[in-house]
Chains A and B, each alone.
Chain A
């Protein structure tokens, strides 16, 4: 049941109505049942995995067995997500050394959202061990914290100190929340179905024919992918946040105009914020953060970025993507310190453009199926210049460009504060109605979200 399907909205509205009607003590149970039903719709067998992870973290936090929770959670994640990656890598290594290797490749299904709910529940255990929060004694409430359906499949990764009190309160949603929820869902659907999914066709074709496509086409495809992944994941996060508001729950914002970032460190304060802050709080700071010697600080930075790459998937391309960001992040801090913005608009624009070029180049590794093909794409961009093709049809291309202009136009207005009270209802309501019309007219559905595979 994907966020773009009608089934999901029927499910969401039915759950929200039932939630509003039920007495307070039953609200949590209803949400928990709805969340497990939502997860079972992907694959019912993995509900046991979700339950297992919930029980593990609940009891480990209660009895202060943090190390056990961390080890078992990482092992679980490693098995489902990374077993074949390391196994295949070792096999290649052994074969190259002409040594026998007996462990076969296993057909392992990747459970939806495993990286997200594992990190969220682990964060809780660590917070308890640090006495940042008290352990939760209500298992059902903790289970809801781990499985809350709007954020279950692809985040945003929530924090116990933010979410558990909201689940405990189980209040009815405020009018403003429902209002905001509807707007977030419409905007999320626009980003996902009108921008991301429309661009997917051009990108898939170009990447599939990267050995023959000209440099212009590949460059445009790489730029389109930068936009696609943002629109896809930001759209998902907005629908998740909008859905949560129907239950009176505020989830943290995952994106803060990342492509307006003026440096790589700035980009990482704006991109996938819930994951970045997780790594900062539960990995970077425990490693010593920046309060260590320079070599150790460099190590800490690189470890975080490499693991962030690996978190996205079991492929060397993701690790290299993390490495690129790590190196440029280090370089920026070493040469420019923490300075991100300048007073000059032109200087900021240039910084923004340079940052986008770096981020865009790194996305080529993220999107390419293999390291070799990523290198081939970059090399063709440099050596085979040519006019980009329009893809399937000129009209499709033109509509895609219009969709991108709307996306960044709205982002630009919001970035400059033209949101909330500054945007009157007389503009906002027809604006969202027009967005809904554009969704009706231009939406396509790939029936998947990029971040569901992570």
Chain B
């Protein structure tokens, strides 16, 4: 291989690499802006933190309109108790702002497994945004995965995140699901013992309590929302669920900054509002948000 041909190959590779790096950088900027819009990473009075249940149950615009407070909705599918503490820290670090109140969805299965095992992957796009996210990802991801995400920014996105970017640019937080609850299928699944079980993981409970302690220190009011699940599912493990709910209520009693809101009892038998045993349809979202807005009264400013 002559020097001229070698240098021509190296030149081509470098140009290709440069284009790759530039496109990665530009897309990262473009995508991160859209994602921040979707997850409402801006200063707001009320911050909604949760997973897909709150994402589908709470209409940000309606809540804002009904409460008269600005609302940020930072909900990601598959986030469990450890992820939510990271989300709260991330919100505070990236906006430099403490919300007056946090709506935190909680339920009988909040301390169970079954959500995304690799939920740290949800935070990849924000890996450079906040120390809390960076620490969480570094401790959860494999080294190879971590450095790949650092080196190739576009690899931090998956289809859900790309969808969120598009919706962020369109300021579209609406629940648009058209599915309908299949009661027969649910009954069969319950009979077959094939459903998301209620269990209590002490580590998660401890982390939940730490989250509430942290929010108390930060002087942030917390509304713990028990969002509705279909009663057939609730009744499949009624006693176990009651134990967890009683635990949540006892924790609430120990924290002056925490209020428990039970949205489950009012809606659990309204099958027409669900798309599946856990998630609400657009009509359900409107009704539950209206219900919540009436229950939320923010503490007066000193």
Contacts and interface: CB of A to CB of B under 8 A. Distances in A.
B5 A175 contact: yes
B274 interface: no
A99 interface: no
B114 interface: no
Contact of B6 (A175, A396, A437): A175
B16 A433 contact: yes
Contacts of B6: 175
Nearest to A174: B1
Interface stretch (A63-71, A118-126, A363-371, A424-432): A424-432
A396 B1 CA distance: 45
B160 interface: yes
A441 B5 contact: no
B23 A399 contact: no
A393 B163 contact: yes
Nearest to A394: B163
Contact of B159 (A175, A182, A393, A433): A393
Contacts of B19: 429-430, 433-434
A440 B23 CA distance: 11
Interface size class of A (residues with CB under 8 A): 20 to 34
Interface string B144-162: 1000100010110101101
B223 to A, nearest CB: 30
A396 B159 contact: yes
Interface in A161-218: 172, 174-175, 178-179, 182
B35 to A, nearest CB: 13
A437 B160 CA distance: 18
B144 A179 contact: no
Contacts of A443: 155
B8 A441 contact: no
A19 to B, nearest CB: 13
Contact of B23 (A172, A174, A395, A437): A437
Contacts of B17: 433
A447 to B, nearest CB: 15
Nearest to A176: B5
Interface string A292-322: 0000000000000000000000000000000
A102 interface: no
Nearest to B162: A395
B166 interface: yes
Contacts of A395: 159-160, 162-163, 166
A2 interface: no
A399 B165 CA distance: 14
Interface string A364-384: 000000000000000000000
A30 interface: no
A392 B163 CA distance: 12
Contact of B152 (A174, A392, A425, A440): A440
B20 interface: yes
A103 interface: no
A399 B27 CA distance: 16
Residue of A178, A395, A437 with highest tally of chain B CB at under 10 A: A437
Given A393-B163, A395-B166, A440-B152, A179 B9 contact: yes
Contacts of A399: 159, 162
B211 interface: no
Contacts of B162: 395, 399, 441
A110 B163 CA distance: 41
Contacts of A178: 9
Contacts of A393: 159-160, 163
Residue of B20, B24, B159 with highest tally of chain A CB at under 10 A: B159
B160 A175 contact: no
Nearest to A436: B20
B143 interface: no
A6 interface: yes
Nearest to B152: A440
B16 A432 contact: yes
B13 interface: yes
Contact of A429 (B1, B16, B160, B166): B16
Contact of A179 (B12, B27, B159, B160): B12
Contacts of A429: 12, 15-16, 19
A395 B19 CA distance: 26
Nearest to A175: B5
Residue of A174, A179, A436 with highest tally of chain B CB at under 10 A: A436
A429 B11 CA distance: 11
A392 B158 CA distance: 13
A437 B24 contact: yes
A430 B16 CA distance: 6
Contacts of A396: 159
Nearest to A198: B159
A399 B159 CA distance: 8
A6 B144 contact: yes
Contacts of B159: 392-393, 395-396, 399
Interface string B15-42: 1111110011001000000000000000
A174 B157 CA distance: 37
Interface of B: 1, 5-6, 8-9, 12-13, 15-20, 23-24, 27, 144, 148, 152, 154-155, 157, 159-160, 162-163, 166
7 closest residue pairs by CB, A with B? A395-B163, A433-B19, A440-B154, A175-B5, A441-B154, A433-B20, A396-B159
18 contacts: A174-B5, A175-B8, A179-B9, A179-B12, A393-B160, A393-B163, A395-B166, A396-B159, A399-B159, A429-B16, A430-B19, A433-B16, A433-B18, A434-B23, A436-B20, A437-B154, A440-B24, A440-B152
Given A433-B17, A441-B27, 13 more contacts: A6-B144, A6-B148, A174-B1, A175-B9, A393-B160, A393-B163, A399-B162, A429-B12, A429-B15, A430-B15, A432-B16, A440-B24, A441-B162
Interface of A: 6, 172, 174-175, 178-179, 182, 392-396, 399, 425, 429-430, 432-434, 436-437, 440-441, 443
